[in-house]
Amino acid sequence: MSKPLSRLLLREQLAFLSRDHSSWGEHLDRVRSFLAEGLQVADPARPVLILGAGSGLEVPWALAPAGTTGWDADPWSRVWTALRHRCWPPWVFEDLTGGLADLAATASRSALEPWSGRRRDRESARRQLAGLLPSLQPKPHALATWIAAHRPGSILVANVLGQFGVVAERIVEAALGWVPWDPDPERADPLAEALEDWNRRSIAALLGVLRDSGAELWLVHDRAVVFSGGPLELGPWEASWARQLQSEAEASDALAGVDVPESLLGPGLELTRKERWIWPLAPGQRHLVEALAFRRHG
């Protein structure tokens, strides 16, 4: 990871940890008990990997089989985990998308005229970047290489998938030095759409590597973000998260339209647990969280 990318993830982590946690009790109980189950049923004879391990706020490390590896690109994540859980697990600090460095370089290039090196005006920079983004293909090479070398029996994905798009936005803003998104949600924003497509490709590529990993998979992630106030009810499980939300709430898809079961199910993997709940993250911002376990058979 380059220094600016690590610093950005560190800043995001600090912002996450400094939020008011007082209404997170139910979320933390549910996410911890889901991940606890994944750790308890893991085959202790095979490596276990926790992606998006962060500071360990959601991860019950005391239940992790010996040698369980944490993965998080925030440079302080392992130290925070050590302070919180009094353990020092093996750790990988690589970018899980494999595409953030390319994204940052492309955004920086788009801000400048190649012939003069002068800054482009904002509209041209926006257009240039929107035109270049479709050629970027994020590929989680570091993860695929780690899996091929270690052959994990279980992989837990601890609330990181929904972060890819947020981190990508911050990276583009930092590289340009200004915020390029159109504030009017009614107007078309080709750059935001191109970045949403980049996010979709990065999530799909990661799920492809997980599907082919041979490991049992325990994933928990933001499925949607609800910004409107008012009551928010969840009905019984529906394949479509939007149909399960029973209120007229305005919700945005945190996974850029990727359906996780559709991406993972196939020969050998069976969906054995599925649940969703509401996480009141901050006043006026509630997340629909999805937890899914996939076991191997055959």
Ligand X SMILES: C[S@@+](CC[C@H](N)C(=O)[O-])C[C@H]1O[C@@H](n2cnc3c(N)ncnc32)[C@H](O)[C@@H]1O
Contact between 56 and ligand X (CB under 6 A)? yes
C-alpha pair distances (Å), 109 with each of 81, 85, 183, 199, 232: 36, 42, 24, 20, 43
- Burial degree of 74 (CB within 10 A; 0-12, 13-18, 19+): buried
> What is the Cα–Cα distance from 33 to 232, expressed in whole angstroms?
23
Q: Which of 8, 49, 59, 143 binds ligand X (CB under 6 A)?
A: 59
Residues of span 109-128 touching ligand X by CB under 6 A: none
Quickly tell me which residue has 């933390």 as its tokens: 28
Of 152-181, which residues contact ligand X (CB under 6 A)? 158-160, 163-164, 167
Task: Give the x/- contact pattern for ligand X in 76-95, rule: CB under 6 A.
Answer: -x-----------------x
Contact 156, 50 (CB under 8 A): yes
In angstroms, give the least distance from the CB of 161 to ligand X: 9
Rule CB under 6 A: is residue 72 a binding residue for ligand X? yes
Q: Is 219 in the site for ligand X (CB under 6 A)?
A: no
Q: Is 216 in the site for ligand X (CB under 6 A)?
A: no
Q: 82 φ, ψ to 5°? A: -60, -40
Secondary structure class of 219 (helix, strand, coil): strand
> Which residue in the set 8, 13, 42, 260 belongs to the binding site for ligand X (CB under 6 A)?
13
Binding of residue 55 to ligand X (CB under 6 A): yes
The nearest distance, CB 273 to ligand X, in angstroms, is: 18
- The residues near 128 (Cβ < 8 Å, ≥ 6 apart) are 110, 120
Number of residues that bind ligand X (CB under 6 A): 25
* Residue 51 Cβ vs ligand X, minimum distance, rounded to whole Å: 7
Distance between CA atoms of residues 241 and 97, nearest Å: 24
| Residues contributing to the site for ligand X (CB under 6 A) | 9, 13, 16, 52-59, 72-74, 77, 95-97, 100, 158-160, 163-164, 167
